[in-house]
Chain A
Amino acid sequence: MLGRSANGIFWLFRYLERAENTARLIEAGFRMALTRDSRDASDEWRSVVVTLGLQKAYEAKFGREYGGPQVFNFILRDKDNPGNVLAMTEQARTNARMVRTGITREVWETVNESWMRLRDLLARPVSETRLGDVIDTIRRQATQVRGAMDGTMLRNDIYNFARMGTFVERADSTARILDVKYYVLLPSISYVGSSLDNVQWENVLRSLAGERAYRWLNAGRMEARGIAEFLVLDGRFPRSLAFCYAELQSNLAHLAREYGGEMASHEILRDAASKLHTITIEAIFEQGLHQFIGDFIACNTRLAQQIQRDYRFIE
């Protein structure tokens, strides 16, 4: 396949994943804000903006005023935020058009239809009443594209580039949420145990669609260590770092088989994945979770860049 197409499909799936993760983050922020007084609510919205790396752009426009509708409209549809969800979906759709020959009709139509629906939904400012509908639509689009992929795409290099886009993005997103929440809200482990923390942590899980799974696995115990372990190391949870890297390994292994050889990216991934495989949560806390996550994000970025070089995404 063309290098340009590989780049297009890789980013198509990064954008879709990012749109979905952003929607979940807003949803969790919204829920949190509803149960708080206005000062805490505005802190909560600020942390959503920080997690998305939008603090600078946001404050350039609105200053330090973090009101709910203002924040989620900025994230969802504001033209002063070039990475808004609508723009991301549009970019995804543009990429899908560009790689039209590499994806099935079902995948293309799903991406195209989601874009049409979101374009209509986000044509005017979103009120708190409409927010749920918008979030649902974004989440459903991601689910439908995944379904169409799963049911109709050949398991060849194209599919594996698409999946790598998904998991590089997802790992990045999980790591960022964890980092912001831990670092901003819990500077010291001694805070653990109060009821506020429980709500905060539950919210972290909710923004990663993991609250139910965690509760089920841990009999409802909310404690920082357990949750961090779940989000970083539990290979059963599809948004954990360990899960994303196991998937990436299988995708890159497929490429090595199909193309008859390993590249530099295989090396980077092997090191990173084996670290996730062997390290314990105790060791992570000893090193400092923030430090660990920072290293992970840097390594994940390096991996993405190496994949783009190895497979000639750009000249």
Chain B
Amino acid sequence: MTNSSPSSYDEMHDADGAARAAYNGYCKWFEEQPPGLLKRKGSEAEAFFRRTGITFNVYGAEDAEERLIPFDMVPRIITAHQWRKLSRGIEQRVRALNAFLHDLYHRQEIVRSGRLPERLLERNAAFLPQMAGFTPPGGVYTHIVGIDLVRTGEDDFMVLEDNARTPSGVSYMLENRETMMAMFPELFTRVRVREVSDYPRRLARSLAACAPPAARGHKPVVAVLTPGIYNSAYFEHAFLADQMGAELVEGSDLRVENGRIAMRTTRGWKSIDVIYRRVDDEYLDPLTFNADSVLGVSGIMDVYRAGGVTIANAPGTGIADDKAIYSFMPEIVEFYTGEKPILQNVPTWRCSEPDALKYVLDNLADLVVKEVHGSGGYGMLIGPTSSKKEIAAFSAKLRARPDNYIAQPTLSLSTVPILTKAGLAPRHVDLRPFVLVSPNGIDITPGGLTRVALKKGSLVVNSSQGGGTKDSWVLDD
């Protein structure tokens, strides 16, 4: 889709150009602002981000320059009514994800019942046999989930992806709000927006509630495990550790001591109860997974399985956000909750199935094709914006390894205006709310990360490919 189809649903304006209910208050305020003010605020915001060091590194970028994720000052607004429905759907989906993971690593009822083909697990690197038969502390697999939602109409929200490994972006949710409140304080006195700033406190509480048996009798010690300052999301790791009052540790700070994971402090070795790890499964334990890894801790899997530490998210949760599994999510939700899914999937063709493959090959020019294990918008084909040559090349790849791909229609994603030199202009958006899971329940922060494609008509919102972010508002009743 090179140009937004005129049928795209704009969240701010209806077909007649009038403000929709969600944006009533905002649009009134906007019209009262002197021209030029918002543009000036834009450069203020950029200087603010540079100074505070809210940057990310782009994978594979030669000079490893720190880049800013562009921030757009027009908020994305969701009504209280819409949010209630979304929350119910998200809650149901996350409940199902955890039940699914528990089942996969135990009796695999869903496979036995014939609802999920066994081959999806057999050749899947995200499925960790080391987790078989083990139940994480509190029975929680996905302590932190980011559900990517897209919207195509007034009430049509669909799940594009379930990020069940280590979803990132929550620091942008928080900093974008801080920035908006600092730049337009009076706006927040006129429009009542629900708070997101207590996310770190909720995260700390949620993680502490998942402490392992070894932590009984004392206040759990939580640490954030980062790959280090060269990781693209390092800012976020440091930010969250700081906000939670947790230590920010690297693999080299840790070792196994008396059956616990301990960090080297200035007073000696100190045990950690809960590790919020931002290191991928394969680097977690060189003894168990990738032997060359220096990012993890030798022996952590043994300590984990013996109840000496909680790892959040649990190793092996990646199987649940695998794109091949994704297409089964409606069945998965129904199987474990006994309810109809509240949130729909985006229609998905599994290229591993011959009929689907044929359809996809015949219609490549209209489809989005993704690698089953890919992420960050890499290795995908967006049919409508690709040349004949690109499509032919991709078609060959697809034929060679059909089970490596899924395909989806190019959705007419909703738009929200951004501020351009020429004024407001609609751009496509998605939304990633952040969900915390503990034995005490599922906790969804009212808001999330709105990613926005800055190029006109573009559907790619990934920050690594030039997308930006917006502050996301959930209105108070």
B53, A312: Cβ atoms closer than 8 Å: no
In the complex, how many residues of chain B place their beta carbon closer than 8 angstroms to a beta carbon of chain A? 22
Q: Which residue of A lies closest to B223 (CB)?
A: A2
Q: Which residue of B lies closest to A96 (CB)?
A: B53
Of A104-112, A170-178, A208-216, A245-253, the stretch lying at the interface with chain B is A104-112
| CA A157 to CA B252, docked complex, whole Å | 21
| CA A312 to CA B269, docked complex, whole Å | 10
A80 within 8 A of B: no
Residues of B within 8 A of A6 (CB): 266
Residues of B within 8 A of A157 (CB): 266
Residues of A within 8 A of B12 (CB): none
> A312 contacts which of B50, B250, B268 (Cβ < 8 Å)?
B268
Residues of A within 8 A of B249 (CB): 2
Residues of B within 8 A of A189 (CB): none
Q: Which residue of A lies closest to B228 (CB)?
A: A98
A4, B250: Cβ atoms closer than 8 Å: yes
B51, A94: Cβ atoms closer than 8 Å: no
Residues of B within 8 A of A112 (CB): 51-53
Residues of A within 8 A of B50 (CB): 116
A2, B51: Cβ atoms closer than 8 Å: no
| CA A161 to CA B266, docked complex, whole Å | 10
CB-CB contacts below 8 Å: A1-25 with B: 1-4, 6
A194 within 8 A of B: no
- Per-residue CB contact flags for chain B residues 43-62 toward chain A (1 = under 8 Å, else 0) read 00000001111000000000
> B266 contacts which of A3, A98, A113 (Cβ < 8 Å)?
A3
B264, A2: Cβ atoms closer than 8 Å: yes
Query: Do A109 and B248 contact each other (CB < 8 Å), given the known contacts A97-B229, A97-B234, A157-B266?
Result: no
Residues of B within 8 A of A116 (CB): 50-51
| CA A100 to CA B54, docked complex, whole Å | 12
| CA A312 to CA B267, docked complex, whole Å | 8
Residues of A within 8 A of B267 (CB): 259
* Size bracket of the A interface: 20 to 34
Q: Which residue of B lies closest to A6 (CB)?
A: B266
B229, A1: Cβ atoms closer than 8 Å: no
Chain A nearest CB from B392 CB (Å) reads 45
A101, B238: Cβ atoms closer than 8 Å: yes
B241, A109: Cβ atoms closer than 8 Å: no
A312, B265: Cβ atoms closer than 8 Å: yes
B253 within 8 A of A: yes
A105, B253: Cβ atoms closer than 8 Å: no
B331 within 8 A of A: no
| CA A6 to CA B253, docked complex, whole Å | 12
CB-CB contacts below 8 Å: B247-281 with A: 247-250, 252-253, 263-268
| CA A3 to CA B266, docked complex, whole Å | 5
A286 within 8 A of B: no
B476 within 8 A of A: no
| CA A116 to CA B247, docked complex, whole Å | 27
B264, A3: Cβ atoms closer than 8 Å: yes
Q: Is the interface of B mostly helix, strand, loop or mixed?
A: mixed
A3, B253: Cβ atoms closer than 8 Å: yes
Chain B nearest CB from A269 CB (Å) reads 17
B242 within 8 A of A: yes
Residues of A within 8 A of B53 (CB): 97, 100, 108-109, 112
Residues of A within 8 A of B266 (CB): 1-3, 6, 157, 161, 259, 311-312
Q: Which residue of A lies closest to B254 (CB)?
A: A2
Q: Which residue of A lies closest to B252 (CB)?
A: A4
> A109 contacts which of B52, B229, B238, B242 (Cβ < 8 Å)?
B52
Chain B nearest CB from A308 CB (Å) reads 10
Q: Which residue of B lies closest to A116 (CB)?
A: B50
> B229 contacts which of A3, A98, A113, A161 (Cβ < 8 Å)?
A98
CB-CB contacts below 8 Å: B264-310 with A: 264-268
A2, B268: Cβ atoms closer than 8 Å: no
A295 within 8 A of B: no
| CA A161 to CA B52, docked complex, whole Å | 23
CB-CB contacts below 8 Å: B225-253 with A: 229, 234, 238-239, 241-242, 247-250, 252-253
| Residue in A98, A100, A157, A312 whose Cβ sees the most chain B Cβ within 10 Å | A100
Residues of B within 8 A of A311 (CB): 266
Q: Which residue of A lies closest to B268 (CB)?
A: A312
B250, A94: Cβ atoms closer than 8 Å: no
> A315 contacts which of B52, B234, B239, B264 (Cβ < 8 Å)?
B264
Residues of A within 8 A of B239 (CB): 100
A100, B51: Cβ atoms closer than 8 Å: no
Chain B nearest CB from A3 CB (Å) reads 5
| CA A311 to CA B252, docked complex, whole Å | 16
B265, A2: Cβ atoms closer than 8 Å: yes
Q: Which residue of A lies closest to B240 (CB)?
A: A101
| CA A206 to CA B395, docked complex, whole Å | 73
> B238 contacts which of A3, A97, A161 (Cβ < 8 Å)?
A97
Query: Do A101 and B247 contact each other (CB < 8 Å), given the known contacts A4-B252, A109-B51, A109-B52?
Result: yes
Query: Do A2 and B238 contact each other (CB < 8 Å), given the known contacts A109-B51, A109-B52?
Result: no
| CA A313 to CA B332, docked complex, whole Å | 49
Chain A nearest CB from B294 CB (Å) reads 13
Q: Which residue of A lies closest to B267 (CB)?
A: A259
| CA A2 to CA B255, docked complex, whole Å | 13
Residues of B within 8 A of A94 (CB): 229
Chain B nearest CB from A313 CB (Å) reads 8
B263, A2: Cβ atoms closer than 8 Å: yes
Residues of A within 8 A of B248 (CB): 2, 100-101
Q: Which residue of B lies closest to A98 (CB)?
A: B229
10 contacts between A and B (CB under 8 A): A1-B266, A2-B264, A4-B264, A97-B234, A105-B52, A109-B53, A112-B53, A157-B266, A161-B266, A312-B268
- Having A2-B264, A109-B53, one finds 6 other A-B pairs with CB under 8 Å, namely A2-B253, A4-B253, A97-B53, A101-B238, A108-B53, A312-B266
Residue numbers of B with Cβ under 8 A of A are: 50-53, 229, 234, 238-239, 241-242, 247-250, 252-253, 263-268
Residue numbers of A with Cβ under 8 A of B are: 1-4, 6, 94, 97-98, 100-101, 105, 108-109, 112-113, 116, 157, 161, 259, 311-312, 315
Q: Which 9 A-B pairs have the closest CB atoms?
A: A100-B238, A311-B266, A101-B242, A3-B264, A101-B241, A101-B248, A6-B266, A97-B229, A112-B53
